[in-house]
Structure 1
């Protein structure tokens, strides 16, 4: 594992964030109005010495309001100027049918069953009902996607751009093997309408599907960037990359470290021309427990990676993905701010 620790200590980092926070506080008074009506000279800029720092809006999943307008406010409060946008805020803004299933409860039961835990009769019945409702809902959404206008996606792009936020990636649940071709085409058209250069999805581990997506992406003139977790290796994306120049990486550096890859900077050096964006978090190596920790306390060489990107003028954005436990008394916005300040110090 090369350069496991950052070039500055966590204590030093925490001791200086208050100074940065004072500057970030400018966003507060300007955000009393709805984001779509903001008329303010303040515009965020999270390009640091040539490196675009962004955030995936999944990072704000714990916040109470998940609307597109509220999500924009969270982004602005953090001082972020470019994002990977999850599907839900955009689709809700465009009028997607509301899901009748409590998704958290549904996924919780599914995870328990996959882990081999014994569900009670009541839980089994509840899960079966949720599965039935989810199947029906997915069909309803597929039909909606096949007919919905792009007008609301254009409106959302304008709202975000007017506030100083660009959308470089779009991640709806539309590119899986269980999605229709109409949904895949919709997702790529929506991404382009939003101004994204690429869509992202979990790698399907299916060569036929990655070939299909690469071919469809070519028709739309957009890239498909595959995300990985602990299955990432130096050769994980090779087949997809050979299939189409429109297939690309959505590298996750933290998961890559937790997978036990010993030279995490090498994947950036060798694949930088095919990386569309890079998720960043601070995870531990397998030897240290694979924990997902506050930045500066794990084994992921975040500072070294940022400096490598800066020094070599690589063009892909670095995406903050907040996945460590939020401390009591804090919230997702405050923690994303800390991650951004860590990037500023790393690139100073």
Structure 2
């Protein structure tokens, strides 16, 4: 569902969700990002944080907290000024963390960790099907501000030694280095790996959520809607279903 920052906020509120990991495009457009890609880096290096603070207030007034920010400004080819901008923007939005795909080059996670230390802001690294129990270890060892944005669905879908039991153990063992979880229901690799409506895949969603509840872990678990939306529905309606599934899981 494409939309500007006001529409996105409405989708979130209509879904019944109270916190979000905000992607970069809509908020950057609101702040005046140039349409010419060649000018974006210079704009990021000099842009005021006023519009980002406005977005934080807008979301806060609507009862939504921006706990993480994921701009497309944290890659190997991005300048130090862009990474610095991403950190400042995240703080202006009220976020505790920025999120980014886990770099292949350890030098990049070391670089980002140093910026995290400078700004006292966590960097949550997201993994797809390369997820294992040890894939984050190098990044975690480089800085106390390097953390895990653990996608539970991708972990299960990657197969191999990744199982329900190993996932729950990973969350318990690394809980102090996790800043957020992505929750989706995927089948295991052996079962095809597809994204499914919640309750129809192999991700142990109920066990994950109750593990967080029982251990009083403070990091958020985010609904990441990736299964095909049924005809006649939309993303807001499907997120509502996921949220209801989660609430039922925690009260059953």
Give TM-score, length-normalised by structure 2: 0.97
Indicate whether 1:234 and 2:171 are aligned.
Answer: no
Partner of 1:93: 30
Q: Which residue in 2 is equivalent to 1:274?
A: 177
- What do the CA deviations read for 1:71-123 (whole angstroms, capped 9, x no partner)? 0000000111110000011101101123xxxxxxxxxxxxxxxxxxxxxxxxx
Partner of residue 70, structure 1 = 7
Which ranges of structure 2 fall in alignment gaps of 5 or more residues? none
Residue 147 of structure 1 corresponds to which residue in structure 2?
A: 46
- The Cα of 1:268 is off from its aligned counterpart by 0.6
Cα distance between partner residues in 2 of 1:73 and 1:207: 38
Post-superposition shift, 1:204? 1.0
Residue aligning to 1:291: 194
1:191 to 2:90 alignment:
yes
Residue 205 of structure 1 deviates from its aligned partner by 1.3
Whole-Å Cα distance in 2 between the matches of residues 216 and 169 of structure 1? 16
Q: 1:207 aligns with which of 106, 113, 120?
A: 106
Q: Deviations over 1:167-200 (max 9, x none)?
A: 0000000100011111000000000010000000
Distance in 2, Cα, partners of 1:187 & 1:138:
17
Q: How many residues matched?
A: 247
Correspondent of 1:337 among 232, 240, 245: 240
2:184, 2:24 → 1: CA distance? Answer: 21
Q: Please report the TM-score for the alignment, with normalisation by the length of structure 1.
A: 0.70
The Cα of 1:138 is off from its aligned counterpart by: 3.2
What is the CA RMSD across the aligned residues, in angstroms?
0.7
Q: Report SS of the residue matched to 2:32.
A: coil
Compute the displacement of 1:219 (Å): 0.4
1:160-199 pair list within 5 angstroms: 160-199=59-98
The whole-number CA distance in structure 2 between the counterparts of 1:259 and 1:283 is: 10
Query: 1:215 and 1:264 mapped to 2: Cα distance?
Result: 29
User: Any gaps of 5 or more consecutive residues in structure 1?
Assistant: 1-62, 99-136
Within a 5 Å distance, the mapping from 1:309-328 to structure 2 comes to 309-328=212-231
Residue 267 of structure 1: how far off its partner (Å): 1.2
Give distance in 2, aligned partners of 1:151 and 1:287. Answer: 49
The higher relative CO (CA closer than 8 Å, separation ≥ 6) is in: 1
Which whole-Å CA distance do the structure 2 matches of 1:314 and 1:138 have between them?
A: 40
Q: Report SS of the residue matched to 1:178.
A: coil
Of residues 139, 155, 160, the one that matches 1:256 is 155
- In the TM superposition, structure 1's runs of 4+ consecutive aligned residues that sit over 2 Å from their partners are none
